[in-house]
Amino acid sequence: MMAFPHFPARQVHCLDGLWDFAYLGDDIDLDALDVRGVEFTERMPVPGCFDATPAYAGRRGTAVYRTTLRVAPDTPGLLSIGALGMWARIYVDGQPICEPTLPYSQIGISIPAADFSTREVLVVSDNRFDRERMPLLEQFFDFYAYGGIFRSVYWHELPEYALDRVEIVTTDLAAGRIQAAVRFHEEFSDTIRGRVAIDGGAFAMLELAVDRGTAVLDLVIPEPTPWTPQAPALHTLELRVGKDAITERFGLRTVGIKDGAVTINGEPVKLLGYCRHEAHPQYGPALPLDQLVQDLQLLRDLGCNFVRGSHYPQDPRFLDLCDEYGMIVFEESMGWGQKVEHFTDPAFQDLQIIQTQEMVRKSYNHPAIVMWGFLNEGASNAPESRKLYEKLAGTLRAFDNTRLVTYASNHPLDDLNLDLVDVVSINCYPGWYAADRELVAPSAEIVPTLDRIRASLAERGLGDKPFLVTEIGAGAIYGWRDPLRAHWSEEYQEEYLRVVCEEVVANDAIAGVALWQFCDCRTYASARALMRPRAFNNKGTLDEYRRPKLAYRMVRSIFRGE
């Protein structure tokens, strides 16, 4: 399944499948590595994570992937890689062309034309933690960091006037008016002719006044149908210019805020859902399409209308499915618990901005996405954080002023940057990381803590912003039942989530919740796992194989109003 956009007129080669593979070990000097001497003795699937396979489970080191393809000679190309982990160096025809340092981000690499047909793509993938080489992902993060090529790889043969994206914004919902920013692969200025078709209808001729690679069109949808979570209607736009064409899918909808609630098309929506990692014990983050569908079926069965993509840019196939299912999305760029030293590191700051820009560029046309976020649980209570938080919030608004800006804070009483956001998103675990550690099952802490947080926000002049609980939950080991209903029992998790869900549904002052979390997922492989039995984060309402715990039926009944 190729995610949108589609390119129906150009030759696009899908490079998914078995690639030549070699694992070089954990002591490779990447600066001295000569890939010409690599002996490929195995095959490895792409997409996939080499360290999720039995032969290399848990190994940290350097691996090399290689494949070949045949293209038209003398034709420039675009190599698109959906996501890599963690650091990579990419070669084409034996020549190094880039070193991606953005785990989980989609990258596009321009490839010069060659006078021969067979092209070789080689990827050095290194999953060792190295803050100097790869500052965005570190060992202390509470999710497992895999190596490999996580998402699909494509080689595009680019014609003249090659199209990159068409970014679509609803300008008049009732009339079906949109504005379409046409982005070309190359930067040029000229007036050129094109044709556009909406929803598979007849093509209409038009002129594009291109200024530095961008043209802006104002168009009307002939039979406009708004996108809503209950009726997720989708439209398509196909643009043809010269020998190229692009098909974008989008939804007509607006996002806003009213009386402390998030609105879609002017109507308030209570957000009920989960945080979800792209994780599975067999596949790591390289989930097959059927697993993505199963996850959304389970979320829908639970009565959810909302999912938070934790804590990195999401698989575009999953976002396409969310568009179709009417599942509202909070997408965030990668961040987890960054400290003061990160906010004073220029390399870290630059990469945060770049990956956030790339996330918006990739996901711009998904109507399901209503808010962007960044820097989950960063040290936003430290004055040193202000500059980067301002830059990231400003970057999001500069690239897309049609959605809401937020970030998930675990400093609800002393956060210094919440004035920058549209939605106050708070991560908290009262009654799990309990204030009174002598109580066996302290779920009574939950509601008073949420009340205290909202009161503090109001005192600081933030009470008019929507208040969203973006993490809250309790751990449970699948299958462990306990008459004491103690921590880690399915019974305590069920009771805990009952209190949370009933409070969120009944309290109009809470805009919604993203329960932590949808399913258990692998985390620390270090001694930090002493806080994570089985080396998994066990707060899932389902286990890592999507088997429901006791809490599943209870959450379902409350979210569905049964």
Answer yes or no: is 1 within a domain.
Answer: no
Answer yes or no: is 2 within a domain.
Answer: no
Residues 281, 176: one domain? no
CATH of the domain at 477: 3.20.20.80
pLDDT for residue 439: 84
Answer yes or no: is 372 within a domain.
Answer: yes
pLDDT for residue 300: 98
Listed in sequence order, the DSSP H helices in 326-466 are 340-343, 346-363, 386-399, 446-459
Angle between helix 346-363 and 386-399 (nearest 10): 20
Residues 360, 287: one domain? yes
Structure tokens at 207: 């002129």
- Cα 308 from Cα 471, distance rounded (Å): 9
Instruction: Tell me how many domains the chain contains.
Output: 3
Answer yes or no: is 7 within a domain.
Answer: no
Residues 355, 224: one domain? no
Answer yes or no: is 6 within a domain.
Answer: no
Residues 209, 269: one domain? no
Query: Residue-wise over 536-553: b if at least 16 C-beta within 10 A, else e?
Result: bbbbbbbbbebebbbbbe
Residues 356, 437: one domain? yes
Residues 266, 312: one domain? yes
Residues 74, 28: one domain? yes
User: What's this model's pTM, rounded to 2 decimal places?
Assistant: 0.97
Answer yes or no: is 198 within a domain.
Answer: yes
Cβ partners under 8 Å of residue 368, min gap 6 = 232, 251, 319, 322, 323, 325, 326, 327, 328, 329
Parallel, antiparallel, or unpaired: how do β-strands 12-14 and 153-157 relate?
antiparallel
Final residue belonging to a domain, choices 208, 229, 252: 252
Each residue's pLDDT tens digit in the chain (562 positions)?
789 999 999 999 999 999 999 999 999 999 999 999 999 999 999 999 999 999 999 999 999 999 999 999 999 999 999 999 999 999 999 999 999 999 999 999 999 999 999 999 999 999 999 999 999 999 999 999 999 999 999 999 999 999 999 999 999 999 999 999 999 999 999 999 999 999 999 999 999 999 999 999 999 999 999 999 999 999 999 999 999 999 999 999 999 999 999 999 999 999 999 999 999 999 999 999 999 999 999 999 999 999 999 999 999 999 999 999 999 999 999 999 999 999 999 999 999 999 999 999 999 999 999 999 999 999 999 999 999 999 999 999 999 999 999 999 999 999 999 999 999 999 999 999 998 888 888 999 999 999 999 999 999 999 999 999 999 999 999 999 999 999 999 999 999 999 999 999 999 999 999 999 999 999 988 888 889 999 999 999 999 999 999 999 999 999 999 9
- Cα 138 from Cα 208, distance rounded (Å): 45
Residue closest to 292 by CA, chosen among 316, 312, 272, 268: 316
Residues 425, 487: one domain? yes
Final residue belonging to a domain, choices 105, 138, 157: 157
Answer yes or no: is 277 within a domain.
Answer: yes
Answer yes or no: is 490 within a domain.
Answer: yes
Residues 116, 177: one domain? no
Range of the structural domain that residue 186 is part of: 163-252
Final residue belonging to a domain, choices 252, 282, 303: 252
Residues 214, 287: one domain? no
Residues 331, 354: one domain? yes
Residue ranges with strand state E in 26-94:
42-46, 48-49, 62-70, 77-81, 84-85, 87-92
